[in-house]
Amino acid sequence: MAKTPLYDKHVEMGGKMVDFGGWDMPINYGSQLEEHKQVREDAGMFDVSHMTVVDMKGEQVIAFLQKLLANNVAKITGKPGKALYSCMLNEQGGVIDDLITYYMNDSWFRTVVNAATRDKDIAWIEKQAAAFDVEVIVRDDLAMIAAQGPNARDKALSVLGSECAGAGELTPFFATECGGKFVARTGYTGEDGFEIMLSNDEAPKLWQALSDAGVKPCGLGARDTLRLEAGMNLYGTDMDEEVSPLEAALGWTLSFDEGRDFIGRGPLEALKAEGAKRKMVGLVLTDRGVLRGHQKVVAEGIGEGEITSGSFSPSLGKSIAFARVPAAMGDTCQVEIRGKLLNARVVKFPFVRNGKSCID
Amino acid sequence: MSNVPTDLKYTKSHEWVKDNGDGTVTVGVTDHAQELLGDMVFVEVPESGRELSAGEDCAVVESVKAASDVYSPVSGEVVEGNEELADAPETVNSDAYGEGWMFKLKLADSGELGGLMDAAAYEELVASES
C-alpha cells in the first residue's frame, strides 16, 4: 500500500489506519464524531497528500485549459492565486474528475486531482496537452495538509510564521506562495481554513507544529461527513464518467461562453436542450434510520432513484444524503432501508455551512 | 485490548450472552465489536414477543461509518428490547456489557448455551482477526 510522508506521524498519534483506495490512511484517531465536531467548532487537520498536484506551464496554457475544463479559466486569469472549481469531462460529457485549478501567472496554472483518479487524469491531461505548447509536471514532491475550522487560520498562521503573514490577508478561494509553501484559503469541509502544499520533507514538521498549536489530527471519516454536510460532491460516489454534471448538481460549474469549444460541450448542450431526466437533490430522513449510498429512493407515481452519498449528520443529529432522482420528483420521497420504506424530505444543500444548519 | 468478561458467553459474530439463571438471557454486542464499528448513531432492537432462531438477524447497530446486523446467539422469544438505545445509541460504545445491552430472550433450549464460546475462546478469535 502507498504511504504519504505523514504516515509515521499518523501511527505515532494513534491514527486508525485503513486501506483508502490503495493508500494507507487514518480513518480516525479514536472518534470520528469528535473529530467532526473539532472541525466545526475549532480546528482540525487532514492529511490529503494522497491527492496529486499537477503544474501546467507554457505559452498556450490558457487556451489549453479552456479546452480541458468545463469551467472557464478566464474567470481567474490575471488574478494571482485565484482558484476555480471545475469538472474535467470526457467527449461524452461525463465527469473524468472534479478539480480545483489555481492561476499562478499567464503561463502557469496549478491543479489538484483526486487520488483515486490520478493515473487516468494525468494520462488524459497529457493526451490533451500534446496539441498545445504546454508542459505537464506531476508534483509528487509535494505533500498537502488541510487545516480546517473557525480557528484553523489563526492557529495555522501562528505556526507558519512571519514569512507567511500575507496568507492572513487572503480572501476565500485565493492562494499565495510563502516560505517555500503554497497556502490556499480553500477546503472540503464547509469551514474556513487553509490547504497547505509543501515539500514531502517539510510535511511531518508542519503536522507536528500544527498539532502543538491545537489543530487536532482528524481522519478521512470525518472529512467525509463534513463534506457531505457542506454539500460537496465526492468523485466516484456522487458522479463519475457515466454521469453528466447536469445530473450531479454541478450545472453551476459549467461555463457555456460564446465560442469556447471545451471537451464535452456538445453532449452537454444537447442534454440541456432536451432537459435532464434526473437531478441530484439533498435528502433529510424524517423517520428513524441512517441513509447510505445505493439505497433505493421511491417517488410515488413518478419513479425511482438512488442515494449516492448518505450518512448520519453529526452537526444536525439526523440522517442526510445526496440522491439522484427523477427530475419531476417533488418535495418528499421514501427511501428503502432493509425492506422498509422510510420517509424523507428534499432540501437544498449545503446542509451545514460555517458551523450553522442551513436547513429548516 | 478489548474487555472480555469471563462470566459471559460469546459468538463468532461478536455478540455476548449473559445467562440470567431464570431461563432468560441478555444479549448485546461485544466491546471489540463496538470498537471496530466506532461511534454508534442508530440502534434498532427486536420487539417483545418476537420468536427468534439461533443465527437469525434481529437487530441493527449503525455507526457513523457503517451498518451492521446483530444475530440472535440462541433461539427463543424476545421478552424485552432495550428501548433506551433509540435515543442514546452511544451507550453501546460507552458500556457495551452493561447499559448497552440490546435484548432479553426466554430460552427455547438452554442446551444451546453450551454451543457458545467462553471468554478464552472469544479472546482467541479476536486475536486471530486482528
Q: Which residue of B has its CA nearest to A33?
A: B39
Are A61 and A107 within one domain? Answer: yes
Are A289 and A185 within one domain? Answer: no
How far apart, in whole angstroms, are the C-alpha atoms of residue B71 and residue B11? 9
Residue A351 sits in a domain whose CATH number is: 2.40.30.110
Are A144 and A36 within one domain? Answer: yes
Are A100 and A226 within one domain? Answer: yes
Helix/strand/coil for B84: helix
How far apart, in whole angstroms, are the C-alpha atoms of residue B111 and residue A305? 48
- Write the DSSP string, A88-122: EE-TTS-EEEEEEEEEEETTEEEEEE-STTHHHHH
How far apart, in whole angstroms, are the C-alpha atoms of residue A220 and residue A214? 19
Closest CA to A285 of A219, A224, A343: A343
Residue A151 sits in a domain whose CATH number is: 3.30.1360.120
pTM of the model: 0.94
How far apart, in whole angstroms, are the C-alpha atoms of residue A112 and residue B9? 52
Per-residue confidence (pLDDT) for residue A172, from 0 to 100? 97
Are A149 and A265 within one domain? Answer: yes
Are A294 and A272 within one domain? Answer: no
Are A305 and A198 within one domain? Answer: no
Q: Tell me the per-residue pLDDT of B57-116, one tens digit each, with 9 for 90 and over.
A: 999 999 998 899 999 999 999 999 999 999 999 999 999 999 999 999 999 999 999 999
A116 C-beta neighbours (distance < 10 Å), count: 18
Are A240 and A334 within one domain? Answer: no
C-beta atoms of A288 and B86 within 8 A: yes
Long-range contacts, B10-16 (Cβ 8 Å, 24+): B10/B116, B10/B117, B10/B118, B10/B119, B10/B121, B10/B122, B10/B125, B11/B71, B11/B73, B11/B116, B11/B117, B12/B117, B12/B125, B13/B70, B13/B71, B15/B70, B15/B71, B15/B72, B15/B73, B16/B96, B16/B97
Domain B9-107 class, CATH top level: mainly beta
| Last residue in a domain, options A276, A311, A336 | A276
Per-residue confidence (pLDDT) for residue A360, from 0 to 100? 77
Residue of A287, A288, A311, A312 to mutate, testing the B interface (most B Cβ within 10 Å of its Cβ)? A312
Q: Which residue of B has its CA nearest to A318?
A: B41
- Write the DSSP string, A267-323: HHHHHHHH--SEEEEEEEE-SSS---TT-EEEETTTEEEEEEEEEEETTTTEEEEEE
Q: How many CA atoms lie within 13 A of A179 on its CB side?
A: 15
Q: Which residue of A has its CA nearest to B58?
A: A338
Helix/strand/coil for A75: helix
Per-residue confidence (pLDDT) for residue B129, from 0 to 100? 85
Are A256 and A281 within one domain? Answer: no
How far apart, in whole angstroms, are the C-alpha atoms of residue A310 and residue A276? 23
Give Cα separations from A325 to A88, A211, B63 (angstroms). Answer: 23, 42, 26
| Last residue in a domain, options A276, A307, A334 | A276
Q: Report the DSSP beta bridge partners of residue A334.
A: A298, A343
Domain ranges for chain B, please list them: 9-107
Please give the span between the terminal C-alpha atoms of chain A, in angstroms, as a whole number.
44
Pairing verdict, β B103-107 and B67-71: unpaired
Per-residue confidence (pLDDT) for residue B1, from 0 to 100? 55
- C-alpha grid cell, residue A329: 420528483
How far apart, in whole angstroms, are the C-alpha atoms of residue B98 and residue B29? 10
Which residues does chain B have within 8 Å of residue A28's beta carbon, measured at their own beta carbons? 38
| Last residue in a domain, options A276, A308, A339 | A276
- C-alpha grid cell, residue A177: 506562495
- C-alpha grid cell, residue A189: 469541509
Which residues does chain B have within 8 Å of residue A221's beta carbon, measured at their own beta carbons? 38, 64-65
C-beta atoms of B42 and A290 within 8 A: yes
Residues in chain A, pLDDT under 70: none
Per-residue confidence (pLDDT) for residue B61, from 0 to 100? 96
For residue A337, give its domain range.
277-360
Per-residue confidence (pLDDT) for residue A235, from 0 to 100? 97
Are A178 and A87 within one domain? Answer: yes
Which residues does chain B have within 8 Å of residue A32's beta carbon, measured at their own beta carbons? 38-39, 64-65
Are A154 and A298 within one domain? Answer: no
How far apart, in whole angstroms, are the C-alpha atoms of residue B67 and residue B60? 7
Per-residue confidence (pLDDT) for residue B105, from 0 to 100? 97
What backbone phi and psi angles, to 5 degrees, belong to A288?
A: -80, 135
- What total number of domains does chain A contain? 2
- C-alpha grid cell, residue A134: 504546454
- Write the DSSP string, A183-228: EES--SSSS-EEEEEEETTTHHHHHHHHHHTT-EE--HHHHHHHHH
